[in-house]
Amino acid sequence: MDRRRAYRRREAALTLATLAALAAAAVALWALMSRLTGTPFFGRSPYYTYTLQAMAWRRGAVSLGQDYPWLELAVYQDDFYVSFPPVPTIPVFLLTFIFGEAVPDNALVKVYALTALFAAFGALRAGGWRRLPAAGAALLTVFCGSAMALSLQGAVWYQAQILAFATILLAAWLAARGKITPALLCYALSVGCRPFNVAYGPLLMFMWYRRQADRSPGAAAKGLWKGVALGLCVAAALAAYNFIRFGNPLEFGTNYLPEFMRSEHGQFSLAHLMGNVRTFLFGLPLERAAEGGWAVKKFGFSLFLANPLLLCLVIRFILDCARRRATPEKALCFFLFAAQLFLLLLHRTFGGFQFGARYAVDLVPYFILYGCMEGKARRLYSWESLLGAAGVALTVWGVTMVHL
């Protein structure tokens, strides 16, 4: 008993030391990027839409009551509304009682990203990875790709996406530990930030179910009901909020943005698919600059170059199929990844101005979930480590060139 207790204490100490090292590495990278881009480490972004929404809530209002021309606002019945899902407003609302209208959202997105980093590490550890490989993969999850750009500034688009990123990774960690009720709550909150994250739900439940070997199917299914009920409560609250604002439980405001109301094909359409495929699957990161020479593309390029872990996911699945190691869990993970990617490719902009392919950040947690399912390959392959190191270097350079 004493030996087991000593072992648990040693493991806990090593885990805390690893988390501290990850946090130190993250802060160092953010400090470097803040200096290179001129983005304040703390402070408020000029795109503080969620703070405006939170202050409106404090007044008992759901609309902003006036236009802010530099922000993307929905225009409905001659009033102005936040055109993004509302969950990111909740932590900002709480922070307004401390900071008022000066909520330091630049720091807030870093807290979200650090949460995502720790959750990715925890999920891989729960999936059987050793400590150092799990730490390396977790660090790449946040800093090898477009997520790094999102964690620098608390702009409204970045807040929503990085909070969705953090909550879905928390859901993965909890599901990998068998805690399905809080996992499904985190999943529902993630959908309340990024609606297409609904695709993760079947995978989280299937992962949990497959680990209930000592329970009958009926007993395992009963274990889901609390989490499903919590998720449905979140969905009902979001639907009610949408109905109060726009008279439609499925409308959170984006379709009332002037840019999409003027667009011939609207926000989502098959008409956008082929152009997005050319840009965000096969596009190169450089383009001819107007003044001569080459420049980084400001409106995105191949998501596999911008987020190399997605390329690793595709190659892992191909290798598993070739080696007959593709389990039902892995096949479901890859299918849902492909399905969510297809839906995102229907969007008119795929994220707009940023380094790389911003919407692709929603897909990166599939790599972590896939890693939790690996049999003997509970580590990064050598080629993945090299690709990840190159990806971090490309991201640092690219974000320095293209940022808000």
Dump pLDDT digits (tens) for 212-250: 767 777 777 778 889 999 999 999 999 999 999 999 998
Report the SS3 class of residue 287.
strand
Confidence at residue 273, expressed as pLDDT on a 0 to 100 scale = 94
Spatial distance between the Cα atoms of 319 and 314, rounded to a whole number of angstroms: 9
Residue 5 domain flag: no
Confidence at residue 211, expressed as pLDDT on a 0 to 100 scale = 78
Domain of residue 203 covers 20-401
Q: Which residue has the tokens 């980084």?
A: 296
> Residue 224: which residues within 8 A CB-CB, separation 6 or more?
180, 184, 205, 208, 209
Residue 1 domain flag: no
Residue 330 domain flag: yes
Task: Give the model confidence (pLDDT) of 174-213 as tens digits.
Answer: 999 989 999 999 999 999 999 999 999 999 998 888 877 6
Number of domains in the chain: 1
Residue 69 domain flag: yes
Residue 11 domain flag: no
Residue 301 domain flag: yes
Confidence at residue 348, expressed as pLDDT on a 0 to 100 scale = 87
Q: What is the mean pLDDT of residues 44-65?
A: 95
Closest CA to 281 of 252, 304, 254: 304
Residue 10 domain flag: no
Using the predicted structure, report yes or no on whether residue 298 has a pLDDT greater than 80: yes
- Between 312 and 251, where is the model more confident? 312
Spatial distance between the Cα atoms of 400 and 395, rounded to a whole number of angstroms: 8
Residue 385 domain flag: yes
Confidence at residue 240, expressed as pLDDT on a 0 to 100 scale = 95
Q: What is the mean pLDDT of residues 335-341?
A: 97
Half-sphere exposure of residue 198, counting CA atoms within 13 Å on the CB side?
9
